[in-house]
Every structure is written in C-alpha cells, then in structure tokens.
Amino acid sequence: MISIIDYGMGNLRSVEKALQSLGYNAEITSDPEKVLKSDRAVLPGVGAFGDCYAGLETSGLKEAVLGFIKTGKPMLGICVGMQLMFEKSLEFGEHNGLGIFKGTVKKFPDSMIEQGMKIPQIGWNQIDKKFEHPLLDGITTGDYFYFVHSYCVKAEEQGVEALSCSYGVNFTAMVVRDNVAATQFHPEKSQKLGISLLKNFGEWKC
C-alpha cells in the first residue's frame, strides 16, 4: 500500500488518482500509524514552506515521515514536499526543514523579473539527467516536466542531484539517496513521463 500523507497541504487527490491509474493501492491518510505500516509513502506539498512544516508538526506526521524513512522503505517527496526534505527555507523568514538533504530553499532572484521572466515558474521546463537510476528509467536529458514554484533549492551534496533544471538560475529538479527521492516538479501533472516516474516509484526496490 502507498500512503499519500495528508497534513493539510497538498494536491492529494491528483497524486492518488495517478497512482491508482497504474494499478497501485494508494490511499490518502493523516494517520501516522498507517504511514509507518505502508509499503511506500508520498509527501506532497502545496503552499508556503513554513505552513507546510507547521502542518507536519501539529498533525504528528513529522515523526511518522522521519520514522518511515528510517525503515528503508521508498519515500517520494513532491514540490514543497521535496523542499521540506532540505535543511531550511528562506520563504517568509527562515524555517528549519527535515534535514534529509543539505541545502537551503531560496526564492528565484527578483532580477529575473527585470529580464522579462515571470515568478513563479508555472509550466513545462526541460531537465538535465545527472545519472542513471531505476526511478529514471525512460527519462532522458531534454525531457519536459511540469513545475509550479517561486522557490527552489540547489542540493549541496555530491551525488544526490538526479535531475537539474534551469529557470533564471540552475536548480535541483530531483534528488535521490538510499530510499528517499523527491521532485520539485509535479509528476502527477507531467503527463506520460510523470506517470512513468510514478510507475518506477511503485516498482522501486531500494
């Protein structure tokens, strides 16, 4: 069973429908015990980083997420769910993250607006594939995924950035280490390639 973690912040139903369309038993849950007992877990996120982190804490799901990761079972973060995996964010102040990966979430530079670019980035953008991984089967450099974000992060560790992307600045589009992976883009909104990534996640033996 795949738990889609409901802490009050996320486009949960679209993720659930995408996984169910692949034949997986996926269920939205806010029950920490169900999360810990599941075979795989997905941490989505929509909204401000601080609000999302507070939602995790007040719901009791922060410890469930950390406990699940320690089990070694596959975990996937999506959008703000990826940002939460990092050390901290500078969105509306400074907020601590879960610290699974090293790096700081920062806003796209305001100078981009002067160059005629829009913040947030909303829409399709190309990725650069950094290394081969079972989650990336069928995905190559130049493929497009769907992004919606005003803040981004550049992973500070070597060997964890699986995909990168450029929008005014170069940023991390996907990280993976051991049993934890996370994407800045929305695979559930990225049509065929996004569904392919979710299928790979459902089959991932880490």
Active-site amino acid positions: 79, 186, 188
* Residue from 50, 48, 40, 41 nearest 6 by CA: 41
- DSSP 8-class letter at 114: H
* Residue from 157, 184, 154 nearest 169 by CA: 154
* Residue from 110, 133, 105, 121 nearest 165 by CA: 121
Find the radius of gyration of the CA atoms of the chain.
Answer: 16
Strand-strand pairing, 101-107 and 86-89: parallel
* Residue from 182, 181, 180, 184 nearest 170 by CA: 184
Strand partners, 106: 152
- 32/55 Cα distance (integer angstroms): 13
Strand partners, 123: 147
Q: In 3-state terms, what secondary structure has residue 31? A: coil
